[in-house]
Every structure is written in C-alpha cells, then in structure tokens.
Amino acid sequence: MIDPLQASVQIASSGLEAQSTRLRVVSENLANANSTGRTPGSDPYRRKTTTFTAEMDRAAGVRMVKVKDVGTDQAPFRVDYEPGHPAADPTGYVKLPNVNSLIEMGDMRETNRSFEANLQVIKQVRSMVSMTIDLLRS
C-alpha cells in the first residue's frame, strides 16, 4: 500500500491530465467552429465531446480519473445560405459545424476550475508533508 499523501498527489495529477485533454478538445472545437467540408454537400467539422471515467490503479490501490473517450456530438449541423461556397449543396445551403462558442467557453471555464481544484489538492499535500518533515527538525 502506497503512502496516502503520495497517492493523493498521483490522483490529483491524473485529474490534471484529464482536464488537459478536455481543454485540448475544447480548443479543437473552438478552432474549427467554422470549418466546412470541401466538396458540395459534404459534412463540416463535427463537435467533439470528452467523457471521463474512474480507473483503478492496481499499484497504488486507488481510483484515478481518465479520459474514457473523445466522442462526437450528434446534434444537427447549422445551415447557412451561401450559394458561392465550395461546400454548398445544389440548393445553395452550406452545412456549418454544430459548435456553439458559448458552450465551449462554459466548458473551458469548468475545465479551468477543475484544474485549479486539483492543483489545490497538490498544494495542500505538499504543505502537510513539509509540516510532517519539520517535526524532525527543531
């Protein structure tokens, strides 16, 4: 059995890792908010979603968090009337990604908060460990 304080750092670190992946996906969504297809009537960029899962770490005997998978959002695409666009279908409509900037911004903020919470755990562990080691000094 690993030292609980050491385990806390590892768990918080796995949280940081998971939130980083989530931020990567959010940034992909935001950057591709206007990426359309190339051929007439083709599908544009489809919004990606992140799902998390608890994973048992056998060595430490604790449950870490991990990105389960990066899936796609099945919501319908936005359409815009733009007949001159290369991706416009015969009726002149272009399909645009189902990315909503506001939702992505909210997601980003939530990612930031989770990341901060995990960092706070690491800070707390560090201060507790150094208080304990300080017992040896004096």
Residues that bind another protein (CB under 8 A): 3, 5-6, 9-10, 13, 16-17, 20, 122, 126, 129-130, 132-137
Choose between 11 and 87: whose C-beta lies nearer to another protein: 11
Choose between 14 and 98: whose C-beta lies nearer to another protein: 14
Q: How far apart, in whole angstroms, are the C-alpha atoms of residue 83 and residue 109?
A: 37
CB atoms within 10 A of CB 112: 12
Q: How far is the CB of 3 from another protein (least distance, A)?
A: 5
Given a contact cutoff of 8 angstroms between Cβ atoms, the answer to whether 11 and 64 are in contact is yes
CA angle 111/117/120 to nearest 5° reads 140
Q: How far is the CB of 76 from another protein (least distance, A)?
A: 36
